[in-house]
Structure 1
Amino acid sequence: MNTRSTPAGPNPTATGPATAAAPPLSATRELLGLHTREFLRDRRNSLAAFLLPLALGALFLAMAEAIPGTGTGLTFGQLVIPMLLLLTVTSAPLTATSGPVTNLRTRGSLRLLGTTPVSRAHLLLTHMPARLALVLLQLAVFITAGTALGHIAPADIPALFGVSLLGLLMFGAAGYLIGGVAGGADSAHHTSMFVQMASYLLSFMFLPMGMLPDGLAKAVSYLPPSFLADLFFSLTPGWEQLHPTWLSVLVVLGTAAVLTALAVRLFRWDQGER
């Protein structure tokens, strides 16, 4: 009896690699719940990412209503909408992503998860939905308000959502890259803020191209944030595109793909890991 029962022993072990390679659905649900609770409790990042864009959006839209249109050229309201959408796709994807990921590593939570079958990609994918839901809600609010106030043509709504998702992919990947390599939460937060502010300046939304020397303006126009801004403004009547639409889409998607690959490759489970 003993000799016949021994062949059955390796069967449970044989299923081990499959379980390690593909974590069960229950593990995904647990990680989704863990990251959602962590996001809601981290008021320093989640509340700022939620309230700041909405507060600035209300302020700028009120200004757009107070400033009369001249009847020629772009109105202030048409300029405000792309600014608010860029603000939305850079807030939570950067500041509310990099800091929390770094916090998980400095507290040792990632080191514990690193001893389980959870992979880097699986961890990052389950970390995204809470941030994605917040960004989609903010985008819906701004696009609905802009349409109701007459700053957005209803026919342009799908394209605006599409461009916003492109920006979300790019800056979300940047947020996870910063969070994966930053030495501490403060470092991650400051780096994210720098990237966000630099993206505004390099997308000529707050610093018009006409204020820059020709050579510098041309160089800035070939940076990824400028391609994204050009896509946003391409839906505004009277805007002369800097690049063909297909090229801008490819550049933003390519940048997002490179940043995503780096975020997964350079992700650290432990502070002392290299």
Structure 2
Amino acid sequence: MIELSDFDAITMPKQLLYYEIDMALRARFGRPTDVTAPRVFGRGIAHLTAGGVHNSLRPTDQRPASEDKSSDLRTPIDHQLEELLLRAGPRTHARAGLRLDLVNWGDLFVQHEVSVAEEIARRKVPRAELLPSVVHSDFNDIASAILHRVTVAGISTTEVTETLGGAGLLQLVQSLPTRRVTNALRVSKHLHPRPHQKWKANDFFDVVQLPVPTVYCDVVFTEHQWVRALTRDKEDRLDERFNTKLIFEPEQLVEVLVSANL
């Protein structure tokens, strides 16, 4: 991956979530007024971890995201330091001062989705209402982040609840671009009966990491199941909404690379 990316990196989903919540709050309440878009694309582990880990020998790359990076020259020692950090495990990072939670998030994610599926089955939620049900569970997941941004913006929780109500809060969640993708991925699994859902720990990484490139990248190469999930709604295809080409076959990737060089 280091050879493929040459240390190009995408910012953490959390940084974009805060930005998207701020934009949604500003659209509804006029606050916060000073929303600054985070830099989605950058270089190295400093950008990947939102400054949590950085190479102190090299200043942060502050160039505009649109600038051509092909002429960026880095010293061999810089490559080696970054690679060592990227290959290190959580305990090594912890010894270096980076706080990392060592909880097995993949297994917890599976348990959470199984519990959501059980609640959907218990309530006998019809297929057409699956998305609102999943969005409701997503609101519970990111409620602390919404409360944090509401507080930072100087908006009272009373104003939020009285202005938006329950339905409005769910609409706010669904208006967040990366959460819209997240919930489309999750719904695709919940469309199937519980015995056939087969949630896997590795799904956690896809559901957490795939939304950012889907919204902010030009081309995304991923599994076929996720491409189907994001293009299933013919009236609201997410590849069209975010102008992102979603592909799942190596041949498609070759075609994209050839077209980019023409």
Which structure ranks higher in relative contact order (CA pairs < 8 Å, sequence separation ≥ 6)? 1
* TM-score, normalised via structure 1 length: 0.29
Name the structure where helix makes up a greater proportion of residues. 1
* TM-score, normalised via structure 2 length: 0.30
